[in-house]
Amino acid sequence: MPNVTIQDVFQAGVVGAGGAGFPTHVKLAGRADTLLINAAECEPLLHKDKEVLREYVDAVIEGMAVAMQLVGAGRGVVGIKEKYQDVVELLQSKLPEKMDVAPLRDAYPAGDEFVLVYDILKRVIPPGAIPLAVGAVVMNVETAMNVAVAAKQPVTEKFLSIAGAVAEPVTLRAPVGVTLRECVEAAGGPTVSDPNYVVGGVMMGYLEENHDALVDKTTGGVLVLPDDHVVVRRRRQDWPQIVRIGRSACDQCSFCTELCPRWLLGHPIEPHLAMRSLEFNLVGESNVIGTAFCCECNLCSLYSCPEDLDPKNVCTQNKRRLMQEKKRWENPPFNPRRPELHMENRKAPMRRLMQKLGLTQFRNVGPLNNTVLRAARVGIKLKQHIGAPCEPTVAVGDQVTKGQPVGQPPQANGQPALGAPVHASIDGTVAAIDDGIIWIQRR
């Protein structure tokens, strides 16, 4: 096992690579009995975690061992879809004592931390809490790999799936700071004349209008879809449209609630009540405090609702307003028996979800291209994580080498604020520092 300390993990700038971007050194400072490696990857057409596991299984296992030691865990489990039989068998042949594999059903959501902890450990995380509350730490596959090498190699590269309407769907290995457009071109380019980029997955990701937006340490993938695709049309609905249609068409069937993964876990979120509240409050918004516990999985809007309404956006709009107003539900009610009664038979099968979202026309593959994408210029964002943006530690005109720190979290009370350093991902010259981005031109 490599000798890696929590300080190494901080200095290497390791953050959650699965999308959340939580600084990993903070997570590893907790105490837990079990470490879960999240390889569930339930966003349709995204494949990078499975590909990374297949190619770098030894490094992921080393990262698991380091993380288990740091948090004091006696058990490590990799949660991965059972359909990836070859990777499951590879893991079974490699995992040492105290580590095992948990094959998961091909359903959505499976990678949500709360769902993963329940599926593997049968422990229910209370509403508003984190996995540590039930003795677990959850870590993405790529994050574990970054932890394994943290003592000698900072995070300068990202694996990401490029899929949908592209010539050759692929899992790319790209320098942090390359543009989304360059990644799509590396997958053979779009096969449609009106490409739209959905970043991070059709369920929980977002429509990125700027095709030159930058890859950061959390970018999991880009799906290219044409203008008339249902996912693009749904993403383009504006708030007044969502409210107007929701008010007039919701028949309170409550399917959105009965399939909501957080409600199934016993949490007090009931999206049909949020929809109902659109009808009777004076501000034209939802007003139900349980929306604070929505995980934004989008299942209610993109799968459950027979009317194609948007309870997810109604819940999240209300959740953000409650946060702004600093309204919290202290000691929310909680039914930890509900998952054992309903969870198993109410998951959304991936095949049905793909059909409903019009994704079955795309090739569901993503072989790894292990050659690092070459970029002439990269833009290193000073904020690629939860917490405070970094402050630049270089100036325009400086020569930098790949792996050199170029930004550090600010100090707060003599300690670094929540965050993680950022590093140059190519050798080059700092060409500009502008709008929270350090631009590096290759030498």
Residues that bind ligand SF4 (CB under 6 A): 250-256, 260-262, 269, 271-272, 275, 294-300, 304-305, 307, 309, 311-312, 315
User: Smallest gap, in angstroms, from Cβ of residue 319 to ligand SF4?
Assistant: 9
Q: Which residue, 252 or 355, has its beta carbon nearer to ligand SF4?
A: 252
Q: Which residue, 40 or 178, has its beta carbon nearer to ligand SF4?
A: 40
Which residue has tokens 């677990």? 136
User: Smallest gap, in angstroms, from Cβ of residue 269 to ligand SF4?
Assistant: 6
User: Smallest gap, in angstroms, from Cβ of residue 253 to ligand SF4?
Assistant: 4
CA distance 409 to 265: 36
CA distance 213 to 186: 15
Sign of CA dihedral 26, 14, 128, 126: negative
User: Smallest gap, in angstroms, from Cβ of residue 203 to ligand SF4?
Assistant: 9
Tokens of 300: 């209610």
User: Smallest gap, in angstroms, from Cβ of residue 49 to ligand SF4?
Assistant: 21
Q: Which residue, 116 or 295, has its beta carbon nearer to ligand SF4?
A: 295
Q: Is 402 within 8 Å of 412 (Cβ atoms)?
A: no
User: Smallest gap, in angstroms, from Cβ of residue 249 to ligand SF4?
Assistant: 7
In sequence order, what are the beta bridge partners of 100? 77
User: Smallest gap, in angstroms, from Cβ of residue 346 to ligand SF4?
Assistant: 11
DSSP string, 179-226: BHHHHHHHTT-BSSSS-EEEES-TTT-EEES-TTPBP-TT--EEEEE-
**Measured CA distances, 110 to 34, 261, 297, 334 (Å):** 18, 10, 10, 21
Helices 48-55 & 85-94, crossing angle to 10 degrees? 40
Q: Which residue, 109 or 221, has its beta carbon nearer to ligand SF4?
A: 109
User: Smallest gap, in angstroms, from Cβ of residue 82 to ligand SF4?
Assistant: 23
Q: Which residue, 304 or 425, has its beta carbon nearer to ligand SF4?
A: 304
User: Smallest gap, in angstroms, from Cβ of residue 132 to ligand SF4?
Assistant: 21
Q: Cβ neighbours of residue 283 under 8 Å, at least 6 residues apart?
A: none
Tokens of 113: 């931390």
Q: Which residue, 218 or 313, has its beta carbon nearer to ligand SF4?
A: 313
Cis peptide before 109 (omega within 30 of 0): yes
CA atoms within 13 A on the CB side of 178: 27
Q: Which residue, 166 or 297, has its beta carbon nearer to ligand SF4?
A: 297
Q: Kindly report the backbone phi and psi dihedral angles of residue 87, in degrees, each rounded to the nearest multiple of 5, phi listed first.
A: -75, -35
Q: Is 437 within 8 Å of 380 (Cβ atoms)?
A: yes
Q: Which residue, 272 or 381, has its beta carbon nearer to ligand SF4?
A: 272
Q: Kindly report the backbone phi and psi dihedral angles of residue 388, in degrees, each rounded to the nearest multiple of 5, phi listed first.
A: -80, 145
Tokens of 139: 């870590």
Q: Cβ neighbours of residue 22 under 8 Å, at least 6 residues apart?
A: 15, 16, 385, 386
Q: Which residue, 18 or 109, has its beta carbon nearer to ligand SF4?
A: 109
